[in-house]
C-alpha cells in the first residue's frame, strides 16, 4: 500500500457485496486455470475439484470475507485476492487437486521462528526447550532462508519465535529486502506491539498480525502466559493493528479447562469487539512445555468446538463475527496439511519440521537443500496426524 494512501481498518463483508466478490474471485481462479492448461474444460474441472474438496471437509458455505487494503481474504493461510501471492496459491492448488500430478513441487506457507527470545513463560509453548538461549540464526540467515523459500514460489510466510517482536529491526529488514509476491504475517503475543511498531509493519509491507489470546478473562490469560498485564498488550496491539489497516487475527489454544460452549461464545464476543477478522482454534499438543502432560481434549470437547466452529461460520446471523478456523477438524478428516505438503515449520535453529507440533528434524534450511528437506519430510509425514 502506498504510504500516502489513507488507511482504513480491515472489515468483514457479506451479503450482496460478498456475492459480487465471489463471482470475480471464481472467474480469476478460472483464468489462472486457462493460463495453466490452455484448455477451458481442464480449467473448469480443476475449479470444480477445488469446490468439491472444500465441500468434502463438511464446512458450511462461508458467508463473509475479510477486506483489507483492497484485498479480500477467506482463509487465514490463504493469500489475499487480488495479488500475485494469491495467483501462486491457486496455481499450486490446481496441481494438488490434479491426480495426474502426484509430485507437487509447490509449498504454500511456512511458519518461521526467527528468534529464541521471549519475555513470557507460556503454559503451552512448543519452543520451550529453546527459549532465551543464544541465537543461532544471523540476520543473513534470515534473509537467506526467506529468499530460498520465495524462490520456490511461496505465497505466505508467518514469522514466529519466541517472540518475533523481540527481533523487530531484523523482522522489518527481512520484509523490506524480500521479493514482492509473498504475504508476510507476524505471530505474536502482542508484547510490545505499540503504535509505532504497527506502523512500521504496515510500511514494510506486512499483510497482518496474528495475536495469541488464550482466554476472554484477562487474569486467566495472564496466568496462562506467565506474565502480568499480557492481556493488556493484546488489547493495545489489536487496536494498533486495526489503526494501520492490517488484518487482525487471534489464536486460541483451547485447553481442557477452557473448552466448553460458554467460554467459546464469550471468546467470540471479545474477538468481535477487538475487530478480529479471523480466529484460529488450536488444540493443545504434548510437545514443548506440555511434553508428558495430560492435555489432549476429550472427544466430547472436540465435538463442542466442532459444533461451535460450524455454527458461527455457517449461520448468517453471525456474519459480523470473525471467521473461525479449526485445523484439527480438517486434520481428522483428511490428514495434516503440514509435512511439506501445504506448509511446514522452521524453528529458531533453522531446522525444518513437519509442523510446529511435530518436532522431528528433516534438515536445516541454511545448510541443506530445501528441496531435499521437503522430500524427506513428505516421506516421514507428520507424527501429529
In a domain, 385, yes or no: no
Instruction: Point out the domain boundary residue: 96, 124, 139.
Output: 96
**Is pLDDT at 182 greater than 70 in this prediction?**
yes
How far apart are alpha carbons 319 and 13 in whole angstroms?
A: 8
- 31 against 334, higher pLDDT: 31
In a domain, 227, yes or no: yes
Take residue 65 and report the three cell numbers written for it.
470475507
Write down the pTM of the prediction: 0.92
Take residue 95 and report the three cell numbers written for it.
496441481
| pLDDT tens-digit series, residues 298-341 | 999 999 999 999 999 999 999 999 999 998 887 776 666 655 56
Same domain, 91 and 128: no
- pLDDT of amino acid 4: 44
In a domain, 4, yes or no: no
The percentage of the chain sitting over the pLDDT mark of 70, rounded to a whole number, equals 90
Residue 163 CA from chain centroid, whole number = 16
Query: What does the pLDDT average to over 374-384?
Result: 74
Same domain, 121 and 217: yes
CATH number reported for the structural domain that contains residue 253 in this entry: 3.20.20.70
Same domain, 324 and 225: yes
For the ranges 69-73, 92-96, 213-217, 332-336, the lowest mean pLDDT is seen at 332-336
**Is pLDDT at 361 greater than 90 in this prediction?**
no
In a domain, 2, yes or no: no
Same domain, 119 and 87: no
**Do residues 74 and 323 touch, judged by C-beta distance below 8 A?**
yes
Binning pLDDT at 50, 70 and 90, where does residue 48 land?
confident
Same domain, 27 and 78: yes
Instruction: Point out the domain boundary residue: 27, 62, 96.
Output: 96
- pLDDT of amino acid 126: 85
**Do residues 169 and 114 touch, judged by C-beta distance below 8 A?**
no
- pLDDT of amino acid 6: 53
Same domain, 154 and 83: no
Same domain, 219 and 119: yes
Same domain, 54 and 120: no
In a domain, 219, yes or no: yes
Same domain, 157 and 299: yes
In a domain, 255, yes or no: yes
Instruction: Point out the domain boundary residue: 96, 124, 152.
Output: 96
Residue 252 CA from chain centroid, whole number = 12
In a domain, 104, yes or no: no
What's the domain range around 282? 109-380
In a domain, 348, yes or no: yes
The total domain count for the chain is 2
Amino acid at each position: 500500500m502506498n504510504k500516502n494512501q489513507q488507511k482504513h481498518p480491515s472489515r468483514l463483508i457479506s451479503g450482496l457485496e460478498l456475492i459480487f466478490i465471489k463471482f470475480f474471485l471464481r472467474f480469476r481462479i478460472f483464468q489462472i486455470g486457462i493460463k495453466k492448461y490452455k484448455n477451458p474444460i481442464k480449467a473448469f474441472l480443476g475449479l470444480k475439484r477445488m469446490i468439491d474438496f472444500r465441500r468434502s471437509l463438511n464446512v458450511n458455505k462461508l458467508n463473509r470475507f475479510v477486506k483489507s487494503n483492497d484485498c479480500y481474504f477467506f482463509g487465514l493461510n490463504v493469500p489475499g485476492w487480488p495479488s500475485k501471492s494469491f495467483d501462486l496459491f491457486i496455481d499450486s492448488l490446481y496441481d494438488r487437486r490434479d491426480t495426474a500430478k502426484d509430485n507437487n513441487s509447490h509449498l504454500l506457507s511456512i511458519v518461521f521462528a526467527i528468534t529464541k527470545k521471549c519475555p513470557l513463560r507460556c503454559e503451552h509453548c512448543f519452543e520451550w526447550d529453546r527459549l532465551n538461549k543464544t541465537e543461532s540464526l544471523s540476520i543473513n540467515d534470515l534473509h537467506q532462508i526467506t529468499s530460498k523459500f520465495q524462490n520456490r514460489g511461496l505465497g505466505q510466510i508467518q514469522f514466529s519465535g519466541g517472540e518475533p517482536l523481540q527481533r523487530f529491526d531484523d523482522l522489518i529488514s527481512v520484509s523490506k529486502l524480500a521479493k514482492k509476491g509473498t504475504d508476510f504475517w507476524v505471530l505474536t503475543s502482542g508484547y510490545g506491539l505499540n503504535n509505532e511498531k504497527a506502523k512500521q509493519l504496515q510500511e514494510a509491507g506486512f499483510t497482518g498480525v496474528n495475536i495469541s489470546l488464550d482466554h476472554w478473562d484477562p487474569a486467566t490469560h495472564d496466568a496462562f502466559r506467565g506474565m502480568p498485564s499480557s492481556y493488556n498488550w493484546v488489547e493495545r496491539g489489536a487496536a494498533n493493528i486495526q489503526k494501520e489497516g492490517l488484518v487482525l487475527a487471534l489464536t486460541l489454544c483451547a485447553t481442557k479447562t477452557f473448552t466448553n460452549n460458554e467460554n467459546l461464545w464469550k471468546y467470540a464476543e471479545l474477538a468481535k469487539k477487538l475487530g478480529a477478522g479471523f480466529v484460529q482454534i488450536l488444540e493443545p499438543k504434548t510437545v514443548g512445555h506440555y511434553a508428558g502432560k495430560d492435555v489432549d481434549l476429550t472427544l466430547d470437547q472436540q465435538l463442542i468446538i466442532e459444533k461451535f466452529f460450524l455454527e458461527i461460520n455457517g449461520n448468517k446471523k453471525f456474519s459480523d463475527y470473525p471467521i473461525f478456523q479449526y485445523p484439527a477438524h480438517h486434520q481428522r478428516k483428511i490428514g495434516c496439511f503440514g509435512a511439506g505438503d501445504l506448509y511446514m515449520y522452521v524453528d529458531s535453529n533453522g531446522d525444518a519440521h513437519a509442523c510446529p507440533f511435530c518436532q522431528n528434524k528433516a534438515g536445516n534450511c541454511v545448510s541443506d537443500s530445501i528441496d531435499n528437506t521437503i522430500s524427506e519430510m513428505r516421506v516421514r509425514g507428520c507424527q501429529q496426524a
